[in-house]
Structure 1
Amino acid sequence: MKRWTIAMLMAVSTVLLGGCATGTIRSSVTAFHEWPATLPSKSYVFERTKEQNDSLEYRSYENLVRNELARLGFEEAPASVKPALKASLSYNISSRDVREVQPVVVHPYPYWYGPAWRGYYRPFYGPFYDPFWYAPPVVEQRVSQYTLFTRQLKIQLAEMAGGKKLYETTVVSEGTNSSLAAVMPYMVRSAFTDFPGPSGVPRRVELKLEQ
């Protein structure tokens, strides 16, 4: 009985530790590309819709993409220079209600609990003296309800002349945070992780949240 109880406690601890996945943003990233071995120029401009051009939120996310492109050696072309590439991005967020039923291991009573006949002057009972210490735990069903948000980001790089697409990536991230602005920096970084990466191969990118 003692060995069984210890094994069960270890299993419960493992489940609890495995569930502590806070502090990270996980994204599913899929990129399709026909990236050339060499590019004559890495100059680019952003191509915006009218709605995007009037959106402060969009411009904030555009700056995130601009920083990542600069890290990869791309240069935003000034107005006087004809760029070789054009970049575009779009994003959205949706939500759905989730209901989960999970088994939870609960001890039927704590170690200090005992029958009433022990009385006021009952002695201390430890694992080697209390016959109720090793009682098997009880599995209860716990119901949890929450809203799950799906955040999606799409980024494209295409040739300015002719509009041939060279790179397009889709980033999908799910979580309980409803703020797209809070998650977007990590999604943009995930979009360009190992750029250009394998074409058409879904990847899982995990980034630690910065304090």
Structure 2
Amino acid sequence: MKLASAPLLLAGLAACATPFNADVSRFQTQLPAPSGQTFAVVADDPALAGGLEFSQYADFVEAEMAELGYTMGSPETADLLVRFDYGVDNGREKVVTTGFSRDPFFDPWYGGYGRRGFYSPYYRHSAWGYGWYDPFFDNGPDVRSYTIYTSGIDMKIDRRVDGQRLFEGKAEAVSRSNRLQHLVPNLVDAMFTDFPGHSGETMRISIAPEDREKKVRRID
């Protein structure tokens, strides 16, 4: 029982340790230095204005702006208006082929207690085979499908007085989750990594879940 549960435990730990990856594109003119500048986060989509959900996600943006040194103000008087939007699509099916499926009692890699879907290229030829291979027990490719979702946030920063656009940014991620409560904070985190970034550059931001360590890779 303990041996059988070990692979499941390791799989669970691996799933928990999966980093969050987002592609971030940013364009900017010269943003004013934070000192003395106030900002307000507003909904870019009027339908979201005043909503409790929007207010919750706006808090994450406000925290990041404050950490940069900007001071939160009101939409009527702030120097900068941070226009924010978010969303997730309806998902699409992804099909994955993971090698060959064996009868669980004839998988030599696990000494007769193998997992469905595991395939070793050494199965037929190496000492791991123990001479057990029989085409009768080769069930062909193990094909699985699951739903993946594309989520994203848009952020624009305008100078309130004259409406001049100072910053535009998008962060997108593909994952098996469509829960905005989990996705939006991570997307905001990615957006503000090395903020404001180099104008016109797209980055792959990878955020480890345990220690929030961030890795940045240019992909354009």
Q: CA deviation at 1:165?
A: 0.9
Please state whether the residue corresponding to 1:202 is helix, strand or coil: strand
Overall identity of the aligned pairs, in %: 21
Q: CA deviation at 1:53?
A: 2.7
Residue in structure 2 matched with residue 35 of structure 1 by the alignment: 30
User: Are positions 1:60 and 2:56 aligned together?
Assistant: yes
1: distance between equivalents of 2:50 and 2:23?
Answer: 29
Residue in structure 2 matched with residue 140 of structure 1 by the alignment: 140
User: Are positions 1:98 and 2:97 aligned together?
Assistant: no
Which structure's relative contact order is higher, taking Cα pairs within 8 Å and 6+ residues apart?
1
> Does structure 2 conserve the Cα–Cα contact (< 8 Å) formed by 1:99 and 1:143?
no
2: distance between equivalents of 1:59 and 1:164?
Answer: 25
> Does structure 2 conserve the Cα–Cα contact (< 8 Å) formed by 1:23 and 1:208?
yes
Please state whether the residue corresponding to 2:59 is helix, strand or coil: helix
2: distance between equivalents of 1:176 and 1:26?
Answer: 12
Query: What is the TM-score normalised by the length of structure 2?
Result: 0.68
- The 3 A distance-change label for structure 1 pair 59 and 210 is farther
2:78 to 66, 78, 83: 83
Query: What is the TM-score normalised by the length of structure 1?
Result: 0.71
Please state whether the residue corresponding to 2:201 is helix, strand or coil: coil
Q: CA deviation at 1:105?
A: 4.4
Q: CA deviation at 1:174?
A: 1.0
Please state whether the residue corresponding to 1:47 is helix, strand or coil: strand
Which structure: larger Rg? 1
Q: What amino acid maps onto 1:194 in structure 2?
A: D
Please state whether the residue corresponding to 2:90 is helix, strand or coil: strand
Q: CA deviation at 1:38?
A: 4.3
- The 3 A distance-change label for structure 1 pair 35 and 135 is farther
Q: CA deviation at 1:78?
A: 5.2
Residue in structure 2 matched with residue 6 of structure 1 by the alignment: none
Residue in structure 2 matched with residue 117 of structure 1 by the alignment: none
Residue in structure 2 matched with residue 11 of structure 1 by the alignment: none
- The 3 A distance-change label for structure 1 pair 40 and 206 is closer
> Does structure 1 conserve the Cα–Cα contact (< 8 Å) formed by 2:86 and 2:184?
no
What stretches of structure 1 of length at least 5 have no aligned partner?
Answer: 1-16, 114-126
2: distance between equivalents of 1:204 and 1:139?
Answer: 38
> Does structure 2 conserve the Cα–Cα contact (< 8 Å) formed by 1:149 and 1:177?
yes
What stretches of structure 2 of length at least 5 have no aligned partner?
Answer: 1-10, 113-125, 212-220
In the TM superposition, what whole-angstrom CA distance separates every residue of 1:35-86 from its partner, at most 9, and x where no partner exists?
A: 247467421123335432331000000001000001111111258x832111
1: distance between equivalents of 2:88 and 2:171?
Answer: 12
CA RMSD of aligned residues (A): 3.3
Q: CA deviation at 1:97?
A: 2.7
2: distance between equivalents of 1:39 and 1:96?
Answer: 39
